[in-house]
């Protein structure tokens, strides 16, 4: 039900439903426990809730899972990294910087590598941005080596995964233009399901691609990509803010988009204002 609420941008209802069930989660394995809270945090993010609410969930319901004697660190790190990348793409990373650096040190442990492509790709961003670029280089090098050892059929299947891995690593290092060149100007999340991520987990890479287009001032391509997402989720404030940014770029270049950009920014703010008003308890 949370997936349905979230997809329909009914973020307040999704959080109320999940928090109402949360007392039954304590016996769950690490992945399911932290993934449930990842969904709650994501609803706050997507609905324009405060970063403080997201930080609380990260600290108290994701990172704290590591204190359990039977916790599975790799499963915790997967949800932690997925959430932090979402926060980063929305700006105002601030208080999360130290948390990412702490997490990056944890995932230098090579015993965590090569468990699944989705985790490896998220670790590449965490390592490269979190001050552990050398470990990230080692991980990427080994992933490429393993890719080259595959037969031609398997290589063709995994080509999107290795391309995404390298792009995410370059983005973490601050080379957005290189990351965009690797991904190209068209991005279809369905092509990357091979990494083992769900549709909701893949959304972050769609957002990353749009931001790479905007950072590269490829406004028309970015606008088309955002409009495609809005067909599915027109109640998501962040998408409208990305659309505002795209039209603002066109306005600065052509001088005709300022009013339209402002209307999209207003739409983003209006949507965010209608969701969360109460702090997390």
Q: What's the domain count of the chain?
A: 1
Domain assignment of residue 63, yes or no: no
Domain assignment of residue 223, yes or no: yes
Question: 35: number of CA atoms within 13 Å, CB side?
Answer: 15
Domain assignment of residue 184, yes or no: no
Domain assignment of residue 195, yes or no: no
Domain assignment of residue 61, yes or no: no
- Domain that residue 235 falls in: 217-280
Domain assignment of residue 101, yes or no: no
Domain assignment of residue 41, yes or no: no
Domain assignment of residue 12, yes or no: no
pLDDT digits (tens, 9 = 90+) for 251-275: 876 655 678 899 999 999 999 998 8
Query: Mean per-residue pLDDT for 155-179?
Result: 97
The DSSP secondary-structure symbol of 91 reads S
pLDDT of residue 124: 99
Long-range interactions of 53-61: CB distance < 8 A, separation 24+: 53/276, 53/279, 53/280, 54/83, 54/87, 55/95, 55/96, 56/280, 57/280, 58/83, 58/84, 58/96, 58/99, 59/99, 61/33, 61/34, 61/37
pLDDT band with cut points at 50, 70 and 90 for residue 281: very low
Q: CB–CB of 264/242 below 8 Å?
A: no
């Amino acid at each position: 039900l949370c997936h349905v609420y979230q997809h329909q941008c009914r973020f307040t209802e999704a959080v109320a439903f999940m928090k109402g069930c949360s007392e039954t989660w304590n016996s769950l394995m690490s992945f399911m426990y932290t993934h449930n809270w990842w969904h709650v945090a994501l609803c706050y993010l997507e609905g324009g809730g405060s970063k403080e609410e997201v930080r609380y969930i990260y600290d108290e319901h994701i990172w704290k899972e590591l204190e359990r004697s039977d916790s599975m660190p790799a499963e915790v790190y997967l949800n932690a990294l997925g959430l932090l990348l979402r926060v980063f793409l929305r700006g105002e990373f601030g208080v999360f910087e130290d948390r990412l650096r702490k997490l990056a040190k944890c995932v230098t442990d090579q015993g965590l590598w090569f468990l699944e492509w989705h985790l490896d790709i998220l670790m590449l961003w965490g390592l490269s941005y979190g001050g552990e670029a050398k470990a990230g280089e080692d991980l990427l090098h080994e992933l490429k080596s393993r890719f080259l050892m595959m037969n031609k059929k398997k290589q063709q299947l995994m080509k999107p995964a290795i391309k995404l891995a390298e792009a995410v690593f370059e983005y973490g290092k601050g080379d957005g233009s290189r990351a965009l060149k690797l991904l190209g100007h068209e991005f279809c999340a369905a092509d990357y399901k091979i990494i083992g991520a769900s549709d909701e987990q893949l959304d972050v890479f769609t957002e990353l691609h749009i931001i790479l287009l905007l950072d590269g001032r490829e406004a028309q391509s970015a606008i088309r990509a955002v409009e495609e997402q809005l067909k599915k989720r027109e109640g998501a404030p962040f998408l409208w803010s990305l659309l505002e940014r795209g039209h603002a770029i066109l306005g600065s270049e052509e001088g005709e988009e300022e009013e339209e950009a402002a209307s999209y920014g207003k739409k983003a703010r209006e949507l965010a204002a209608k969701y969360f008003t109460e702090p997390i308890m």
